[in-house]
Structure 1
Amino acid sequence: MGVKENIGKGTIELVLMSMLLEEDMYGYQLVQSISKLSNGVLSINTGAMYTSLYKLEEEGYITSISTKVKNRQIRIYYHLTDSGRDYREVLLSEYLELQKAMNCLLKIEKKE
């Protein structure tokens, strides 16, 4: 298994919350958007995604809204809360710090 397949839990949460910054989204929409925006490089396991979404909701970082879209179909949209926006900033800061450290370890020069 490579690096792409081993995205950590904190990274999944950061990606999900980042996707919800500008609009509420439902599960399949999140999966498709992540794949599209990463040019197919990243795909998210739906089980891991829903585990993270449930955890984020339990902690108050997101809320969910059920919407009837067809006669019997219910779609659950996820919404980023204000505390979720704050938590996303914390995770983003940690991610950027880790990225900087990894660049040093891997001897990747920052091009300016």
Structure 2
Amino acid sequence: MTSRTITSEDARARAEQRFQKASQREREAEAAQKADADQRKAVAAKVDRLRAMRLAKEASAATPLQAEADALAKQQRADLLGLVKPAPRTKAAPRKRKSAAEATEAENDRYSDAD
């Protein structure tokens, strides 16, 4: 087994290689941060545009007739697309139970009317 001595040229080459790798990582990190910042700016611009459109729509729909027409159009679109939820079912009021005497009396009245 032979041991290799490290020359100053080898040490310099390794140091240069480490420096190049570190520089490359820094450039990639900066590029990723720039891309992330660009994406955040694009999202913020889109949100601002949509907010402005919504506010303009709300301002134009200030008249009651227009608001009613918009609601009707929205309902019709939902009907066409099948997005309308069925009306919630309401429970029927519980029937009052008759006592045995009242039931017998009602039964007798029913048969007595049939005569």
Pick the structure with greater CA Rg: 2
Tell me whether the two structures share a fold, i.e. TM-score over 0.5: no
The bucket for the TM-score relative to the shorter chain is under 0.3
Bigger relative contact order (CA 8 A; separation at least 6): 1
Structure (1/2) with the larger helix percentage: 2
